[in-house]
Amino acid sequence: MHGVLRILASMCAACALSASAAPMGSDDARHLLNRAGFGARPGDLAGFAQLSREAAVEQLLVDTSGVALPAVPAELADYMSPSRLRALSDEERKEHQKSSAIALRAWWVGTLLGASTPAAQLRERMTLFWHNHFVSSLQKVKSAKLMADQNRLLRRHALGRFDELLHAVGKDPAMVVYLDSATNRRGSPNENFAREVMELFTLGEGNFSEQDVKEAARAFTGWSIEPATGEFRWRPFAHDGERKTVLGVSGSFDGDAVLDILLAQPQTAELLVRKLWREFISWTPDEREVRRIAVRLRGSGYDMRVALREVFGSRAFWAAENRLALIKSPVDWVIGTLNTLDIEAPDAAALAFALRQIGQDLFAPPNVKGWPGGEAWINSSTLLARKQMAERLLRRDGRMGMREALLDPAYQLK
């Protein structure tokens, strides 16, 4: 009897293995490419349909760290220091800020359009994900170069280790300016970065106290920038080297030590997985699955590929009830439309302006919490803007017959 059961179990395992290795077909391929990238290009769809789900996910997660980052145009490579800006007339200053802002947004839109493989699209999607996690804004930073450098930093670490990214972002000049770290000095601590790094970047609300914020702010004193060059500067004379206590751990901490304390908390991995779930699966995370994946993420040393492999391989990701469960962001809707319909892209600067009209102004999230996403993407104003955008795209391409399909409420979902 036991022998028969072993044979049956072996047969069942073989059947499951065979099923998992079978080609997933066009419906599954479209779902994966829509969620992990920006639309499904016809050639990519045909190729991925021949892969199993597992093989397709591995192809998406291929290491792209050796792929060159997109070059920054000359107008974004020049750092305009505060003293240089002050030397300009009001008119010259306004023209510089306007032209550099246009160039910055056009550069990223061009990079999004140039993501020619599904793996490259996933890297861009994660770059956008991190831009909405580690929020900063050109309006406050006032340097297109610093924002471009930060964008390249997010792209470089997009699928890497979160702990390395967190440490790098904390010393990123755009973030130093945006969260006022440069004014955080011994004896007069500025709590902005300490508060946001706990509330938004790692632990989440309710998992720290006001005293933790005050103590952590003292640890981050001395993190600053060099105004003449825009580079990060450690200023030891401004650092508070006295003893602090953060989340019950005491010592003469500097900022890096505090970040390591935050990374050691299980809530940090859970917050990240919860956000990945809302990005790729549904707006309502399964908390049991969140905890399971978070354990894997922490155990891997915060390797984001491990978390994404778990997300894309989960039953929930492929479940019928979670398909068409997410509302497309403006970037997703516009870039995805161009890719899916194989439409030649308009001018990148014009496209960036259109994204602003639809509700997603790149490099300018609405506040420190970023774009809320979900149903907030759709209202009477933005829906009308999407309608006008669809008509312009299809008129350009001569395919006005697709207008009704683009404006169908289901097309706003993924």
H/E run at residue 249: strand 249-251
Please give the average per-residue pLDDT across 72-86, as a whole number. Answer: 91
pTM of the model: 0.92
What is the pLDDT confidence band of residue 397, given thresholds at 50, 70 and 90? low
DSSP state of 402: G
SS3 409: helix
Which single residue is written with the structure tokens 């500025």? Answer: 190
pLDDT the model gives residue 398? 52
Four-residue CA torsion sign, 208, 214, 218, 221: positive
SS3 199: helix
pLDDT the model gives residue 401? 47
72 vs 398: which has the higher pLDDT = 72
pLDDT the model gives residue 266? 98
The contacts of residue 94 (CB under 8 Å, 6+ apart) are none
Q: Which has the closest alpha carbon to 136: 362, 377, 376, 372?
A: 362
pLDDT the model gives residue 9? 45
Task: For residue range 311-337, list pLDDT tens digits in order.
Answer: 999 999 999 999 999 999 999 999 999
Distance (Å, whole) CA 273 – CA 97:
37
Q: Which has the closest alpha carbon to 261: 251, 270, 271?
A: 251
Task: For residue range 214-223, list pLDDT tens digits in order.
Answer: 999 999 999 9
- Number of helical (H) and strand (E) elements in the chain, helices listed first: 23, 4
Instruction: Please say if the pLDDT value at position 16 is more than 50.
Output: no
pLDDT the model gives residue 409? 65
Distance (Å, whole) CA 114 – CA 108:
10
In DSSP terms, which residues pair with 244 in a beta bridge?
251
Other C-beta atoms lying within 10 Å of the C-beta of residue 276: 23
Task: For residue range 377-391, list pLDDT tens digits in order.
Answer: 999 889 888 888 888
